[in-house]
Amino acid sequence: MAIPLFLVDAFTDRPFAGNPAGVCLLDSHRDPQWMQAVAAEMNQAETAFLHARPDGEWDLRWFTPTIEVDLCGHATLASAHALWESGRAKVESPIRFHTRSGVLSCTRNGERIEMDFPAEPATPVAAPAEEAFALGVAPIFVGRNRMDMLVVIESAAELRQLVPDFAEVAKIKARGVILTAQSDVAEADFVSRFFAPQSGIAEDPVTGSAHCCLGPYWRDVLHKDELVGYQASKRGGTVTMKCVGNRVILGGSAV
């Protein structure tokens, strides 16, 4: 029996930009090894696996080509988009996903999708030499949360031009490394990039879950609760954030 499988570009309003994610709609629970094999075959940063629950909500898991992850923004956005566009969910109603990071809800707001995610603030790291060496930068702040390292630098131009030593980045014990700087363009408050060779992704095009860390950091620096971030990868993408207590509302489009 055929299993529906979609490819969705997230955090963009045009094809071939943003971050592509696979979305696999299952009619029954599947073995994690099978899901990992499908994710490797899709070879996207993440492939999402959805299964309808009896209560009308959805179970959601995310896999990179090599590992299962605890939280993924762009594949969640892609999942909601696929359910609404295929008629499997009502556009006027929120979608609730049950995940390894708790219940995550997605709501349509015009052409944009808003996702209610947990805030993932970074705690300062005392000795950031390893991260600085791997990235070849002079950080002004290094921290970490339960998933990632956060490295803040002064220059957005340096961030855009950086070519990391991926072999060294892969040695850092984290899901990945978030690099960020204050924006050099009026359309965004900050810019970022995300490197995760240790999770099977050299550079992720647009990382929604990283903005659960970036939002709280830049809220405290810029003293504003509503922010716009631009992830300066080759494909590029824009993520809006609204920091509300211990949650971050992430916004973006998908095609």
Annotated catalytic residues are 46
Strand partners, 108: 113
Give yes or no for a contact between 19 and 230, defined as CB atoms under 8 angstroms apart. no
Helix or strand run (H / E) with residue 186: none
Residue 11 and residue 237 in contact, taking contact as beta carbons nearer than 8 Å:
yes
Return the percent helix, strand and coil in the chain, to nearest 5.
20, 40, 40
In contact, 48 and 71? CB cutoff 8 Å = no
User: Quick check: 42 and 21 in contact, CB under 8 A?
Assistant: no
CA distance 237 to 232: 7
Q: Is the Cβ–Cβ distance between 99 and 61 less than 8 Å?
A: yes
E strand map for the chain: 5-10, 19-26, 46-52, 58-63, 68-69, 95-99, 102-109, 112-118, 123-124, 141-144, 148-152, 176-182, 190-196, 201-204, 226-231, 237-244, 247-252
